[in-house]
Amino acid sequence: TSVRKSAPTVPAMLAALLVISAASVGSPPRRVSSSGHLLVLQCGGTNDRFGRLDVDVLPRLQATIDLAAAATTTRHRVSVLTSGGLNETLHLGIARGPGTERTRPHWRLVADALLESGLPSAALVDEGIPALTTVDEALMTRDYVAAKEGRFTEVAVVTSAYHAARVEHLFGRALAPCAGVRIQLRVVAVPEQRLVVEPSASSSSSTTSSSHKKLSLLDDQSINMRRAHEASALKQLREAPNGKWLTFLKRHGGLGCTALAPAGQHEHHHHHRRSTPRAAASAG
């Protein structure tokens, strides 16, 4: 029988990611305008049946925290919006956790991990968006921004590098002036050097991402599979949009509407070497 090792916490996993991504190409997070209010949307991913976050979500945590820190250090306002609904078939959220009857959508699991990793609770939007797809994320973010009636001056969408082109396509159109929104957009791409997080088979008590057994890099085959999927999905969106996305396009300017171009090309997140993020105090 193998000896069970203590599982690293989320901050410990992010410390490992710091070493992995230290050589990544990119630039520090840009500052928002002098009178700006930045909305950071962290794209969702998946989780296992215990609520532990997947290989794509974990590296995005530090990028989100860095964006929030860059805004707050210059005394600008920032709000962080997490994403992901509840659908166990799609590995989103948990309908029941071991030893508890609580239902937790994916956005809540991500929010908990961000708080544990050092995001100030004041920066976190109380309720995330229950998106099940990237199309949902774009449309729900558009609705959220529009409902706030000019509160936000910029949206920064944090995602993985292989996913950035599809995010740029969808959010650029969903947040275009012809869709009734006037806002700046940027896409923050976390480099494709990935963490693989393997859950401990003997662990069954945690509902966050803290019960993971070991860390390693995602192999090239897995990254290439993700890239191929994204290329196919983006081609479909461009050449044969359908469903709720096609309905949205027809209602907001038609297929010929000019999409909002992100400020420059999507930027790559570059993590600055620093100490492990401290754990956030309980939000109560």
pLDDT digits (tens, 9 = 90+) for 81-97: 999 999 989 999 998 75
More confident residue, 106 or 218: 106
Q: 258, 16 in Cβ contact below 8 A?
A: no
Pairing of strands 154-160, 184-190: parallel
Confidence at 144, pLDDT banded by 50, 70, 90: very high
Average pLDDT of 122-126?
Answer: 96
pLDDT at residue 221, as a whole number? 86
Is residue 264 scored above 80 in pLDDT? Answer: no
pLDDT at residue 110, as a whole number? 97
Average pLDDT of 5-32?
Answer: 41
Identify the DSSP state of 129: B
Pairing of strands 195-199, 77-82: unpaired
pLDDT tens-place string over residues 243-259: 999 999 999 987 778 88
Is residue 27 scored above 50 in pLDDT? Answer: no
